[in-house]
C-alpha cells in the first residue's frame, strides 16, 4: 500500500481522534521532532519539573 493510499484511508476514517492517534500514518507524520518544531510543549518535561522540582534531569 502506498503512502498516498494510507493518507487517503486516514483522512476518510470514521474513528475518533483518540483512536486515529494510534494509527501508523498519524504517528509517522506527527512525531516528537515535528511537534517540537511547531512549538508544542513537551508534556513529559513539564510533568518531570512539576513532580521532581526544577533540578530534575529531563
pTM above 0.75, yes or no: no
Q: What is the pLDDT of residue 54?
A: 84
Indicate the burial class of 39 (C-beta count within 10 angstroms; 0-12, 13-18, 19 or more): exposed
pLDDT digits (tens, 9 = 90+) for 2-33: 777 877 777 888 888 888 888 888 888 888 89
The region that residue 39 occupies, defined by phi over 0 for left and psi between -120 and 50 for alpha, beta otherwise, is left
Residue owning grid cell 508534556: 43
Grid coordinates belonging to 50: 512539576
Amino acid at each position: 500500500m502506498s503512502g498516498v493510499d494510507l493518507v487517503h484511508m486516514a483522512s476518510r476514517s470514521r474513528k475518533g481522534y483518540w483512536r486515529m492517534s494510534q494509527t501508523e500514518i498519524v504517528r509517522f507524520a506527527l512525531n516528537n521532532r515535528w511537534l517540537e518544531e511547531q512549538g508544542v510543549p513537551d508534556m513529559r518535561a513539564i510533568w518531570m519539573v512539576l513532580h521532581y522540582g526544577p533540578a530534575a534531569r529531563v
